[in-house]
Amino acid sequence: MTQTPPVHPTASTAQGQTPFDRLRRILPEESGVNDKGELTIGGVSVRALADEFGTPLHIFDEHGLRRQMRSLVQGLRERWPNSEVLFASKSMPIVAVYAIAASEGMSIDVAGLGELRLAIEAGVPGDRIYMHGNAKSDEEIALAVAHGVGTVIIDGTDDIARLDAALAVGQTQRILLRVIPNIDADTHATQATGGETSKFGVTFDQIAEIAKLVSHNSKIELVGLHVHIGSQILETEPFAEAVRRVTSLGEFPVYDVGGGLGVNYTPTDHAPTVEEYLDAVVAAARGLLPADTKLIIEPGRSTVARAGVTAYSVVTTKQTGRRFVAINGGMADHLDTALTGQQYSPILADRPTAMPDTIAQLVGRQCESGDLFVDNAHLPHPQIGDIVVLAATGAYAYTLTNNYNGALRPAVVFVGGGEARLAVERESLDDLLRLHRVAAEHDWSTQI
Ligand SMILES: *Cc1c(COP(=O)(O)O)cnc(C)c1O
């Protein structure tokens, strides 16, 4: 069980930097190395967290997360006072993050009954909730109306009919109309939402017709337009272009220009900073909009990605046609690489400054060859029991967890100031079995 893999002759790191140095700007802000040489986050040893809470484990740097939220909210407010920053909650929909976002002055964007319910659970006031969705159900709309959701983003005329039916006489609902911006941002096809054939929103020439329909309805108040061009966008120009497009479609009190700012996952990534992004959005808005217009952005990934990491344990290593290091997670808790090809950076919690000497395929334990975490991972002598930390998994990781291969969803823990608090419990086998009508209730073995 203590077999170690042979050393790969060509493994090396750039400029003699340690893995910790190379990943310093990818790892959470409050990352460090303690006097035992272990990786720490929020002043807590990742090894100690893994021992206490088990692996796979999502770990969030609460101070770093709060600072990032402030830089978005305050950064936009300084540049455009009549503004609002919505946390695009699908990127990390857990009660703790809804509560933290609300406490840092963000409003919340939800899509679907579950996200709405989680936001309500976190105590987010209705007037700070924005409800999205390209296929909203009657039940969702009813809950939105009952909770007093401030703004519903309309995706087509069916939404208007449903809302009209849900609203009592005398009740009113603010809406934004989502329009297809016709911008093909340079990102993975599954993450582009702004192209002509997008399933989200209505076309430019449908706006007037919908505005007219709504103007005859005293319960529904159209306050503005919404666009969202896609996700993991690594340049600022498409955001400026989105502002120019949406503001050319008529005069409204509110423009919501969506989310999509990309983040750094590997040392070779250079995403725009929050400041560069806000500068581009606001510069585009300045020439086109009166200063009292409300400007809204909806950052998801860029709000949470860097604050989160995932810790896994090495289960096995082997050399066949290639060298493999297999960890105790996979597509069930980390779907993003299989879904979008996004590359992530690994580091070992016990020796973050040790120089890599091994190149291996870092793979998961689900039964798919595509269940790959990192292609050609550079690691220092990886062995059974090592804790592998994947950096920048705060967005689109926990939210995409599933029970493939009967996997159990990981726990989520928040760290800061040397303390850890559990935010979401690890799923148990009882949780997994709870929904199934098992043998005691029905005998599935004898029916033909
Ligand atoms: C997903 C989504 C966002 C957030 O996108 P990020 O790339 O995570 O910033 C914002 N608005 C809408 C409508 C979305 O669907």
pLDDT tens per residue across span 343-375: 999 999 999 999 999 999 999 999 888 889 999
Protein residues whose CB sits closer than 6 Å to any atom of ligand 1: 88, 90-91, 109, 132, 228, 231, 258-261, 298-302
- The alpha carbon of 109 and the centre of ligand 1 are apart by a number of angstroms equal to 9
Residue spans per domain, the chain: 11-60+306-432, 80-299
Query: Which three-class secondary structure string do you get for 273-302?
Result: CHHHHHHHHHHHHHCCCCCCCEEEECCCHH
- The alpha carbon of 279 and the centre of ligand 1 are apart by a number of angstroms equal to 19
Point out the ligand 1 atom lying closest to the alpha carbon of residue 260.
7
Tens digits of residue pLDDT in 80-119: 999 999 999 999 999 999 999 999 999 999 999 999 999 9
Residue 235 is assigned to a ligand binding site: no
pLDDT by 10s per residue, the chain, length 448: 444 444 444 444 456 899 999 999 999 999 999 999 999 999 999 999 999 999 999 999 999 999 999 999 999 999 999 999 999 999 999 999 999 999 999 999 999 999 999 999 999 999 999 999 999 999 999 999 999 999 999 999 999 999 999 999 999 999 999 999 887 666 666 666 666 667 888 988 899 999 999 999 999 999 999 999 999 999 999 999 999 999 999 899 999 999 999 999 999 999 999 999 999 999 999 989 999 999 999 999 999 999 999 999 999 999 999 999 999 999 999 999 999 999 999 999 999 999 999 999 999 999 888 889 999 999 999 999 999 999 999 999 999 999 999 999 999 999 999 999 999 999 999 999 998 886 667 777 777 7
Q: Strands (DSSP E) along 36-97, which ranges?
A: 39-41, 44-45, 57-61, 83-88
- Which residues make beta-bridge pairs with 346? 390
DSSP state of 86: E
Whether the CB-CB separation of 106 and 85 falls below 8 Å is answered with: yes
Tens digits of residue pLDDT in 215-253: 999 999 999 999 999 999 999 999 999 999 999 998 999
Q: Is 367 a catalytic residue?
A: yes
- The alpha carbon of 6 and the centre of ligand 1 are apart by a number of angstroms equal to 44
- The alpha carbon of 214 and the centre of ligand 1 are apart by a number of angstroms equal to 26
Residue 114 is assigned to a ligand binding site: no
Point out the ligand 1 atom lying closest to the alpha carbon of residue 231.
7
Distance CA 102, CA 96 (A): 10
Residue 277 is assigned to a ligand binding site: no
Whether the CB-CB separation of 174 and 149 falls below 8 Å is answered with: no
Point out the ligand 1 atom lying closest to the alpha carbon of residue 261.
9
Select which of 367, 370, 419, 428 is catalytic. 367
Q: State which fold the 11-60+306-432 domain adopts.
A: Lyase, Ornithine Decarboxylase; Chain A, domain 1 (2.40.37)
Residue identified by tokens 């008529």 is 250
For the entire predicted model, the pTM comes to: 0.93
**In terms of C-beta density within 10 A (0-12 exposed, 13-18 middle, 19 or more buried), how is residue 213 classed?**
middle
Nearest CA to ligand 1 atom 3: 259
Q: State which fold the 80-299 domain adopts.
A: TIM Barrel (3.20.20)
Substitution site in 228, 263, 296, 339 for ligand 1 pocket (most atoms within 8 Å of beta carbon) = 228
